[in-house]
């Protein structure tokens, strides 16, 4: 999946696939779960796009964005907003994308 954990958010130790950070002992289970949920919603949004179900696409794109705010999630949500003719929402998301560049 695209949103895999690479480093501990607390101490920045490299993530080794174990649910506890090897350096600081932080429990990473909840974070990993959130990242996996974000990936699931991204895939559902893309599938909805392929099926021309833009309302469902927007729902899943917004859920992705609420779970993990990344440039890709912003872009996906902006595209879904445009496809739903939510031009004001798309413009607001575009402005956030530009600020992150």
pLDDT: which is higher, 99 or 4: 99
Classify residue 7 by its DSSP letter.
B
Q: Indicate whether 76 belongs to any domain.
A: yes
Q: Indicate whether 1 belongs to any domain.
A: no
Percent of the chain with pLDDT over 70: 96
What is the tally of structural domains in the chain? 1
Q: Indicate whether 26 belongs to any domain.
A: no
How confident is the model at residue 1, as a pLDDT? 45
Domain that holds residue 93: 38-100
Q: Indicate whether 56 belongs to any domain.
A: yes
| pTM given for the model | 0.85
Q: Indicate whether 67 belongs to any domain.
A: yes
Residue 37 has pLDDT above 80, yes or no: yes
Contact 48, 56 (CB under 8 A): yes
Q: Indicate whether 46 belongs to any domain.
A: yes
Contact 8, 17 (CB under 8 A): no
d(CA 16, CA 19): 9
d(CA 7, CA 66): 21
Contact 63, 41 (CB under 8 A): yes
């Amino acid at each position: 999946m695209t949103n895999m954990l690479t480093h501990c958010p607390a101490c920045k130790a490299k993530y080794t696939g174990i649910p506890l950070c090897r350096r600081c002992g932080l429990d990473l289970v909840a974070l990993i779960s959130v990242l996996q949920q974000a990936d699931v919603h991204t895939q559902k949004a893309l599938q909805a796009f392929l099926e021309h179900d833009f309302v469902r696409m927007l729902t899943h794109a917004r859920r992705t964005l609420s779970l993990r705010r990344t440039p890709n999630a912003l872009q996906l949500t902006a595209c879904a907003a445009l496809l739903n003719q939510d031009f004001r929402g798309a413009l607001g998301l575009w402005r956030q994308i530009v600020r992150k560049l």
